[in-house]
Structure formats: C-alpha cells, structure tokens
Amino acid sequence: MEITQALEQSRPGMIRDVENAISQRQLNQRTQQTYLHWISRFVLFHGLKDPDELALEDQQQFLNYLKNQISLSRARLNQASQALSFFFEDVLHKPTIGNTAAA
C-alpha cells in the first residue's frame, strides 16, 4: 500500500481534494509529492481518523512527535509544518497553528 492511500482510507476523495487545492495554488510537482507525503503521514499517525475530525491539537501533537521522537531536521520539520498548514487552510478550510513547529 502506498502511503497516500491512507488519505483515501481516512475519507474517500481526499487525495483529489488535496490535488485540487495544490492545482489552485499552482504548486509544482515536487511540492505536491512532499505535501501528499506529510499529509498522509499525519493521517496515519492519527489512526486514519477522518481529517475533518482532526484539530489544531492533533497537528501540534504530530509536529512535536516529529521534532522530539523522530528528531527530524529543522528543514524537514518546516516542510511538514507547511504541508499541514496547507492541508488545514486550503483543503479542510480550518485554522492552523502556522509555521511555528521549528521554533
């Protein structure tokens, strides 16, 4: 199973929603791949929970896990944070914590 299939398992049509939002922002293919990767890892981290049920606390919990348990580099942590900000704002239309994970 590809990691992005987690998005479809959490909510059918989610990959399409993410790809549509990426297209609207005219992001390049590499950014699309990176965002899909981090968004999928986020959904997997939370047990394939429907993304509409996830909140800011879930976003912060995942970023703290990446920072403290995985010891992700600052650059990768920023990528993950930007991907989640995009996901919450542009796909789920929810507020986000912004790009403060690496602070």
CATH code (residue 73): 1.10.150.130
Q: Does residue 101 form part of some domain?
A: no
Q: Does residue 79 form part of some domain?
A: yes
13-41 residue pLDDT tens: 999 999 999 999 999 999 999 999 999 99
Q: Does residue 9 form part of some domain?
A: yes
Q: Does residue 33 form part of some domain?
A: yes
Instruction: With cut-offs at 50, 70 and 90, classify the pLDDT of residue 95.
Output: confident
Q: Is the entire prediction scored with pTM above 0.75?
A: yes
Q: Does residue 30 form part of some domain?
A: yes
Residue 7 contacts by C-beta under 8 Å, 6 or more apart in sequence? 14, 15, 18, 36, 39, 40, 43, 51
Q: Does residue 97 form part of some domain?
A: no
Q: Does residue 100 form part of some domain?
A: no
Q: Does residue 27 form part of some domain?
A: yes
Tell me the residue range of the domain where 37 lies. 5-91
Tally of structural domains, the chain: 1
